Amino acid sequence: MIFRQLFDSVSGTYTYLLASRRGGEALIIDPVLEKVDRYIQLVNELDLKLVKAVDTHLHADHVTGLGALRDRTRCITVMGERSKVDVVSMRLSESDKLTIEGVALDVLYTPGHTDDSYSFAMRDRVFTGDTLLIRGTGRTDFQNGDARAQYDSIFNKLLRLPDETMIFPAHDYKGETVSTIGEEKAFNPRLQVKSVDEYAELMSNLNLPNPKMMDVAVPANMRVGLPQDEIARRGWAVSAAQAMALIGGPDVTLVDLRERTEREKHGIIPGSLHALYPDLAAIVRPGGMLHELARATGKRIVFYCAVGERSAMAVQTAQDAGLASACHIQGGIDAWKNADGPLTR
């Protein structure tokens, strides 16, 4: 496995790059906007392909690199389903898996620092965001933080992982880079409490100043969505209602770009093909399956995904590859559901 821990010294943020060779798919956790050039350089140096960029929660101390990474690499942006950000390409919930080729992370909903905090666990390590830090825990006094929820997330989820599990947090301000569950159980001063009440009391007496960047970072991080209007302005989008009139007709092929778990959870538009978003460039280029299908049949390709972000990027990729009829369902399966479009499982 390829694993890199990257540091932003301004905000004290750790960013993690993960990959497992073969096709070189890579995943980045908690990227910082100012460091995006560095991440892309490293991804190129290691001959990887960034396919997912994930935030553990809505950050208050730095502007996320999610939007910039998506714009520059067309990667999928991912957050938890409780996040209030306007648009990310994919949302995960407890017990889902966050996957790239050769890597699968278990999604744990670990609220407390914020109400949209998630942790991601794999065999030997867990990415704890700001829920559990090294010899500390994330503050719970803003962004719908809740010390009692955090106690539950830490004691009833994270500390139940095997003692040797390595902890990689989103921040450290003292230069610590890694710990383990066993070490934190024994030595984290915030965890030496006898009850949830004692923990809540301890957390309510920290009296921390607000992060310097908070007034800038929170509003910026709320709006990481890809503007889908530009795609619509070019005539490359259909509304859910328009798409409903098209399905079943002879001139259209619908292509679902979501992952298997999303399809199982939310249903599929009847009659649609399935193509994984990371494989898209290969299938829309001349000689690729969709390119040849469109050319041979004259059918219009209509992409869709969860909220319209992956499909909007897919339209751009397909148009760049010469598929002039490609369009997408604006707003994705969310909009389709709101328009009472039919779904199968």
Q: Compare residues 130 and 259 and give the one whose CB is closer to Fe ion.
A: 130
Residues 192-251 that bind Fe ion (CB under 5 A): none
Q: Compare residues 100 and 217 and give the one whose CB is closer to Fe ion.
A: 217
**Number of residues engaging Fe ion in binding (CB under 5 A):** 1
Least spacing, CB of residue 188 vs Fe ion, in Å: 17
Binding segment for Fe ion (CB under 5 A), chosen from 122-130, 195-203, 257-265, 273-281, is 122-130
116 near Fe ion, rule: CB under 5 A: no
30 near Fe ion, rule: CB under 5 A: no
148 to 167: interface string for Fe ion, x by CB under 5 A: --------------------
Q: Compare residues 14 and 303 and give the one whose CB is closer to Fe ion.
A: 14
Closest-by-Cβ residue to Fe ion is 130
Q: Compare residues 64 and 272 and give the one whose CB is closer to Fe ion.
A: 64
130 near Fe ion, rule: CB under 5 A: yes
- Which distant-in-sequence residues (6+ apart) come within 8 Å of 184 by Cβ? 132, 134, 135, 159, 167, 191
Q: Are strands 132-133 and 90-92 parallel, antiparallel or unpaired?
A: unpaired
Conformation bin of residue 129: beta by default, left when phi > 0, alpha when psi is -120 to 50: left
Binding segment for Fe ion (CB under 5 A), chosen from 104-112, 130-138, 148-156, 315-323, is 130-138
Least spacing, CB of residue 229 vs Fe ion, in Å: 30
**Residue 16 to residue 27: CA distance in whole angstroms:** 8
Least spacing, CB of residue 197 vs Fe ion, in Å: 24
Length of the chain: 345
Q: Decide if 29 contacts 56 (C-beta within 8 A).
A: yes
Binding segment for Fe ion (CB under 5 A), chosen from 124-132, 214-222, 261-269, 315-323, is 124-132
Binding segment for Fe ion (CB under 5 A), chosen from 123-131, 211-219, 249-257, 261-269, is 123-131
Interface ranges with Fe ion (CB under 5 A): 130
